[in-house]
Amino acid sequence: MTTKPTKTLVGNIDKDILAYTAGRDVELDVSLIEADCMGSAAHVVMLSQMPLKPALISKSQENKIIKALVSIMRQTRKGTFKIRLADQDVHLAVEQTLTQQLGDIGKKIHTGRSRNDQVALDLRLYAKDQLLATLEGVACCVDALLSFAKKQVAMPMVGRTHMQPAMPSSVGLWASSFAEGLFDDMALLINAYEFNDQSPLGSAAGYGVPLPIDRELVSHLLGFSRPCHNVLYASNSRGKIESIILSAMSQVMLTLSRWAQDMILYTMPEFNYFVLPKAFCTGSSMMPQKNNPDALELMRAKASKVQGHALSVYDLIKGLPSGYQRDLQEAKEPFLEGIHITRTSLSVCHKIVRGLTVNKKALLKGFTAEVFATDRAIECVAEGMPFRDAYDYVKTHIDELKDMDPYEAIAKKQHLGATAGLDFPTYKKRLKEAHAFVREERKAFNKAISKVLGVAYPDL
């Protein structure tokens, strides 16, 4: 049944079709309002400098538009700026507001751009902030893991393969292994950050515009390192960027998930190596004694979710033809959610690591004589026996093995990266570099945005 169509900035649209096509943009685009306003501010500065006679937008009109954009940003922070269904998305909501407030001046803002390059820009600006925040989150976890590892560097812990007791190891080695995994994940995030650091604005609908727009200027004004060059690729890179970022996020989650699995195992009463504060556990509605590690289980589950989101974006774009297709809108939800999950998981991991204590008695109890079998064989090697003979000798005399001191055993492994050869100063240096990267990038971004908005950003 056809009902009276809803009037929108881009035509009169049937209510059901409007609701279906706007989808969740009305809610999700709230996260993009600030980015959309920044983008419009830079665009209008560029329009006013465009070499046209008469000028398309005067300096005073430019100032009025930027003021109105800053006001929208402030309203957004107070929760009073609304995107209505008739707006469809953030872009038309902002344009509509500017037009209501400024009349014909507002109507000029969309000159030389399309919602296609606008949304691509918004997502990249949003991603920039989120990638920096994620890097900060990873760095905090690394910091907590390294402090814990350093404190427990001489605390013996049975090393396992196939889940079976294998060789003497330490809590320090275990904890810092996750820190090192997160360093690799940081490299992936920085890589994604660098891909993302290109302005798509001015690609318009994907084919440029017959106007002397200055894409370099807009890119510079928004603190990007450069514009995406080819306008069609700028358009086609939507979805690809989200896919790259989610892949990096899913690697972070992979590290966290494996840490969470170890934590679940080593905090269970049968192991009891580590103790979780009670407040970090949840109880059972029926069994009064329970302290369940639900947060860790959910971290494991959420890793699958982020990986699923990465795959869903990849799958969404892999068969798309060149040029904008509305399918791309569907990448927004997994993108925003994947980032959100990763960031919250990082802060939960950080909290748990900082609250973690070790149970020395339980850790030492695991050291049966068999755990030292390989060390014993290597002692025989040092006495001149070929390794295979030493191996056979220990294997046939396994019941006669004598206990060794686990503290001594882990202190003996002094080579690179082993229990007594962990290079904490280098870890610390890498962590400092990561913090400095985030700090410098934020500083440069805030400076650029403050300049274009004419007010101090991010305070506004």
CA torsion angle 425 428 429 433 (round to 10): 180
Please state the closest distance from residue 168 (CB atom) to ligand ARG, in A.
56
Of 29 and 62, nearer to ligand ARG (C-beta) is: 29
Q: Is 420 exposed, middle or buried (0-12, 13-18, 19+ CB in 10 A)?
A: middle
CA 262 to CA 151: how far, in whole Å? 19
Active-site residue, 43 included: no
Cβ 329 to ligand ARG shortest distance, Å: 4
Nearest to 111 by CA among 59, 44, 174, 33: 44
284 in catalytic set: yes
Please state the closest distance from residue 328 (CB atom) to ligand ARG, in A: 5
> Who contacts 227 (Cβ-Cβ below 8 Å, separation ≥6)?
198, 199, 200, 201, 202, 215, 216, 218, 219, 234
Smallest gap from Cβ 28 to ligand ARG, in A, equals 9
Within 13 Å, how many C-alpha atoms sit on residue 20's CB side? 5
Q: How far is the CB of 10 from ligand ARG (least distance, A)?
A: 8
Give the shortest CB-156-to-ligand ARG separation in angstroms: 55
Compare residues 24 and 59 and give the one whose CB is closer to ligand ARG: 24
User: Amino acid identity, residue 394?
Assistant: V
Identity of the residue numbered 271? F
Q: Which is nearer to ligand ARG, 333 or 379 (CB)?
A: 333
Q: Which is nearer to ligand ARG, 14 or 297 (CB)?
A: 14
Structure tokens at 280: 């970090």
* Token pair recorded at residue 65: 């538009």
Kindly tell me which of 197 and 242 has the beta carbon lying closer to ligand ARG.
242
Q: Residue type for 367, please?
A: F
State the burial class of residue 321 (Cβ atoms within 10 Å of its Cβ: 0-12, 13-18, 19+).
Answer: exposed
**Rounded to 5 degrees, what are φ and ψ at 451?**
-65, -45
Written as one letter, the residue type at 283 is: G
Q: Contact residues for ligand ARG (CB under 6 A)?
A: 25, 89, 115-116, 119, 324, 326, 328-329, 332
Question: Smallest gap, in angstroms, from Cβ of residue 123 to ligand ARG?
Answer: 8
**199 closest CA partner among 169, 233, 175, 176:** 233
Alpha-carbon distances, residue 25 vs 50, 326, 374 (angstroms): 32, 12, 60
Sequence letter at residue 234:
A
DSSP-H helix ranges across 152-280 = 171-196, 215-221, 231-236, 240-267
Identify the active-site residue in 58, 60, 284, 304: 284
Nearer to ligand ARG, 25 or 180 (CB): 25
Tokens 């306003």 label which residue? 37
Closer to ligand ARG at the Cβ: 328 or 409? Answer: 328
For the annotated catalytic residues, the residue numbers are 162, 284
